[in-house]
Chain A
Amino acid sequence: MPNVFAFAEARGGQLRKVALEAVTAARTLADAAGGEVHALLVGAPGIGEKAEQLGAYGADVVIVIEHAGFGNYNAEAAAAAAAERIKSGGYRAALFSASAQGRDLAPRVAAKLGVPMAADVTSFEPSGDLIVARHPGYTGKVIFTVTLAASPAVISLRPGAVAAAEHRKAARVETAQPVGDPSAARVIVTEMVQGSSAKLDLGEAPVIVAGGRGLRAAENFKLVEDLASAFGNAAVGATRAVTDDGWRPHSDQIGQTGRLVSPDLYVAVGISGAIQHLAGMRTSKTIVAINKDKEAPIFKIADYGIVGDVFEIVPALTEAVREAKKHH
C-alpha cells in the first residue's frame, strides 16, 4: 500500500496554504515508496476547480465532493467522507494539517478508523513499517519523537512545518458522493465572524508585534498597531513594564506572568528582553528585535535584529511589509 492520502483544507471556496503543505508532505512520503498521492477536496459546488492547483503541488488523484452542505466547515460530514475514502483506499498514511480545522478533523477520522494518530507533527519519516514523527509538547519546551505503529498512519502537520513546494502532476479528478447527507450534520455553523487583525487572539495569531518601554509613551503604541495591521494577521502584545504602566491592558501582556505565545513571527519593538518576557515568547518560530541598545538581551535570542531608533525603523518596516503584502 504505497499510496498516501492528503486532506485538502479549504475555507470560503478557497484552498488554504496548509492544503498545499499537506499535499507536499504526502508527495515526499509517497515518492519514498513509489506510491501515489490522493487528495480529498470537499466544498460547496465549484470547489472542484481547485483540483488542478492540488495537482500542481503533487496530487496524482483529487477526489472531489461537492455539496451545498459543505459551504462552511462541516466537521461531521468531512470526517465521514475522509474516513470512508481512507478505509476503501488502503492508504499507508493519511495527512491533515494541524490547523484549527485539521486539529478538529484528524482525531475524528482516526477514531472512526480505530487508530491512534500523531498530532501537530513538525517532521516525520517512514522507518520500516513504522512512522517516526516529531511533535513539540510542554509548551514547546520538550520535543517528542514518537513511533506510530498503526495502519494507516494518521498524521496532522503543524502549519508551516513543511514548506509547500510545486511538483507538477496532471491530477486525475474523481468525483465522489458524500457519506449520508452533509446538510443533516448535528453541529451546524450558523455564522462566520471575519476577524480583524486588531482582534486576533495572542494565542492564535501567526504574527505578533509586541512593544516595550522603548516606545517611551502609551500613544507611541500606534507604531506597533500600524505594523500589526500591515501584516494583516498579527496581534499586538506588550511587556509587563508596559502593562504595569497602564499603556496597554494586562490581557496583552506576554511573559511568565502573562500569555505564553509561540507565533510563526514575533516582532519585539523597544523590548530589552527581561527573562520574564523571554519566558513567554522564546518558542516563537522566528524572532525579530528592534532596539536601540545593541547589548539588549533580546538580541541574544532574536533571529534578526536591527539596532537603532524604533521611531525611525518601525514606520519604514510597516511601509515595507505593506508593500510586500501587496505583491503577494
Chain B
Amino acid sequence: MKIAVCIKRVPDMEARFKIGADGASVDEAGLKFDMSDFDGYAVEVALQLNEKSGGGETTVISLGPDVVQETLRKAMSMGADRAVHLKADKIPFDSFAIARALAAELKVGAYDLILFGRMAVDSANQSTGPMVAELLGLPVVTAASKLDIANGTGTARRELEGAAEIVTFPLPAVVTIDEGIARPRLPSLKGIMGAKKKPLESKPAQLGEPRIAVKSMELPPERTGGRIVGEGAAAVPELVRLLQTEAKVL
C-alpha cells in the first residue's frame, strides 16, 4: 500500500511550560522536541501494515520550519521510506489552514491510506485529519484504537464514552490513530544511518490566511488546597452532597 502519515513536531510534554514574551506562545527555550505521541503510533501502524502486506511505501509529511526535518528523519529511521517537508515559518494554530496545505500535497500522491495521530498533543484540536478527508472527499475514521486492512477494505474500532463502535470503510481513506494501538518502535542504529540517505523533499506549504488566531496563552491556576470534608465514614454523606451540588460530577 501507499501510505502517508502526517506528523507534527511538538515539545516534550513533561516540561514545565512558560509563556513566551509575546503572551501568546510557549517559551521554547530549553524545551526538547519530538514527534507528537499519537503520530508515533500512526507511523508504527503504517510500518506494520506495510510489513504485513510485504510491500508498499510509507511517506511521512510534516509542516513547519526547517527543524521539522529532524522529526521526519526520525520517522524514516523508524522505517518510513520517504519524507515531504512543507515549509512554513511556524506551525499555525489554525487546523483548517494546515489541512488545506496538507490536502494540496496529499491530493497528488495517490495514497491508499492517509494516517494522522488522533491529535497533536500541543494544540490538541483533533481536527486536521477529518478536515483533510473532507477536502479530499475521502471517507474518514477518527480515533481508531484498532485498524485492519484487507482486500481494499478497512475495519477499525473507535472508543466512545462507555462504548465502542466497529466500523468498516473502503480505501482510499483517512484514519486518525488513538494511543495504545501499537507501541512505536525505537529507531535502530542501522535505521538511523539509513535514514540519512532516504529522500526528503522540501517545498513551501500552501498556507492561506489563518482565520483563527491565538490571542493569548496562560498557565492554568495552580490547584490550591481544597478542603478536608471531614474524618472517617461520617464524612461520606457530605462528600456525596458536594459532588452532586457543587462539583456536579455525580
Interface of A toward B, CB cutoff 8 Å = 11, 72-73, 75-76, 79, 98-101, 103-104, 106-108, 110-112, 115-120, 132, 135-150, 159-160, 163, 186-195, 197, 200-201, 203-204, 206-207, 231, 233, 256, 260, 264-265, 279, 282-283, 285-288, 294, 299-309, 312-313, 316-317, 320-321, 324-325
Q: Are A115 and B161 touching (Cβ within 8 A)?
A: no
Q: Are B168 and A187 touching (Cβ within 8 A)?
A: yes
Between A and B, 28 residue pairs with Cβ closer than 8 Å are A100-B143, A103-B126, A104-B130, A104-B158, A107-B126, A107-B127, A107-B129, A108-B133, A110-B96, A116-B210, A120-B125, A135-B124, A138-B11, A142-B219, A143-B220, A146-B214, A186-B139, A186-B170, A188-B168, A190-B155, A192-B165, A193-B165, A197-B162, A256-B14, A287-B226, A301-B225, A304-B239, A312-B233
Q: Are A138 and B17 touching (Cβ within 8 A)?
A: yes
Other contacts beyond A108-B134, A116-B211, A301-B225: 19, CB < 8 A: A76-B139, A100-B159, A100-B161, A107-B130, A108-B133, A116-B96, A117-B96, A118-B212, A136-B220, A141-B13, A145-B214, A149-B212, A150-B212, A187-B167, A193-B165, A204-B159, A279-B14, A300-B225, A307-B230
Q: How far is the CB of B130 from chain A (nearest CB, A)?
A: 4
Of B121, B129, B169, B249, chain A has the most CB atoms within 10 Å of the CB of: B249
Complex Cα spacing A119 to B118, Å: 13
Q: Are B131 and A204 touching (Cβ within 8 A)?
A: no
Of B13, B162, B215, chain A has the most CB atoms within 10 Å of the CB of: B162
Query: Does any Cβ of A come within 8 Å of B247's Cβ?
Result: yes
Q: Which residues of A contact B99 (CB under 8 A)?
A: 111
Q: Which residues of B contact A189 (CB under 8 A)?
A: 165-167
Complex Cα spacing A119 to B236, Å: 37
Q: Which residues of B contact A143 (CB under 8 A)?
A: 217-220
Q: How far is the CB of B51 from chain A (nearest CB, A)?
A: 25
What size tier do the contact residues of chain B reach?
35 or more
Closest to A147 in B: B215
Q: Which residues of B contact A191 (CB under 8 A)?
A: 165-166
Complex Cα spacing A145 to B160, Å: 27
Which positions 221-250 of chain B face chain A at CB distance < 8 Å? 223, 225-233, 235-237, 239-240, 242-244, 247-250
10 tightest A-B CB contacts, nearest first: A111-B134, A107-B127, A116-B96, A303-B226, A316-B233, A186-B139, A308-B232, A111-B131, A191-B166, A107-B130
Q: Are A145 and B218 touching (Cβ within 8 A)?
A: yes
Complex Cα spacing A72 to B124, Å: 27
Query: Does any Cβ of A come within 8 Å of B59's Cβ?
Result: no
A-B CB contacts (within 8 Å), total count: 268
Q: Which residues of A contact B14 (CB under 8 A)?
A: 256, 279
Q: How far is the CB of B81 from chain A (nearest CB, A)?
A: 28
Q: A108-B130, A306-B228 are in contact. Are A186 and B169 (CB under 8 A)?
A: yes
Closest to A194 in B: B163
Query: Does any Cβ of A come within 8 Å of B140's Cβ?
Result: yes
Query: Does any Cβ of A come within 8 Å of B142's Cβ?
Result: yes
Q: How far is the CB of A206 from chain B (nearest CB, A)?
A: 7
Q: How far is the CB of B10 from chain A (nearest CB, A)?
A: 9
Q: How far is the CB of B247 from chain A (nearest CB, A)?
A: 4
Query: Does any Cβ of A come within 8 Å of B39's Cβ?
Result: no
Q: Which residues of B contact A106 (CB under 8 A)?
A: 127
Q: Are B240 and A321 touching (Cβ within 8 A)?
A: yes
Closest to B165 in A: A189
Closest to A193 in B: B164
Q: Are B159 and A201 touching (Cβ within 8 A)?
A: yes
Q: Are B249 and A286 touching (Cβ within 8 A)?
A: yes
Q: Which residues of B contact A305 (CB under 8 A)?
A: 226-229
Complex Cα spacing A317 to B234, Å: 10
Closest to B10 in A: A138
Q: Are B216 and A145 touching (Cβ within 8 A)?
A: yes
Q: Which residues of A contact B228 (CB under 8 A)?
A: 294, 299, 305-307
Q: How far is the CB of A154 from chain B (nearest CB, A)?
A: 9
Q: A187-B140, A187-B168 are in contact. Are A112 and B134 (CB under 8 A)?
A: yes
Q: Are B143 and A104 touching (Cβ within 8 A)?
A: yes
Q: A188-B168, A195-B163, A324-B250 are in contact. Are A138 and B13 (CB under 8 A)?
A: yes
Q: Are B124 and A304 touching (Cβ within 8 A)?
A: no
Closest to B142 in A: A104
Partner of B165, one of A73, A203, A317: A73
Q: Which residues of B contact A195 (CB under 8 A)?
A: 159, 162-164
Q: Which residues of A contact B213 (CB under 8 A)?
A: 146-147, 149
Q: Are B239 and A139 touching (Cβ within 8 A)?
A: no
Query: Does any Cβ of A come within 8 Å of B93's Cβ?
Result: yes
Q: Which residues of A contact B201 (CB under 8 A)?
A: none
Query: Does any Cβ of A come within 8 Å of B67's Cβ?
Result: no
Q: Are A286 and B247 touching (Cβ within 8 A)?
A: yes
Of B133, B161, B218, B229, chain A has the most CB atoms within 10 Å of the CB of: B161
Q: How far is the CB of B9 from chain A (nearest CB, A)?
A: 14
Q: Which residues of B contact A149 (CB under 8 A)?
A: 211-213
Q: Are A137 and B124 touching (Cβ within 8 A)?
A: yes
Q: How far is the CB of A117 from chain B (nearest CB, A)?
A: 6
Partner of B243, one of A73, A104, A300, A304: A304
Q: Which residues of B contact A200 (CB under 8 A)?
A: 162
Q: Which residues of A contact B227 (CB under 8 A)?
A: 303-305
Query: Does any Cβ of A come within 8 Å of B95's Cβ?
Result: yes
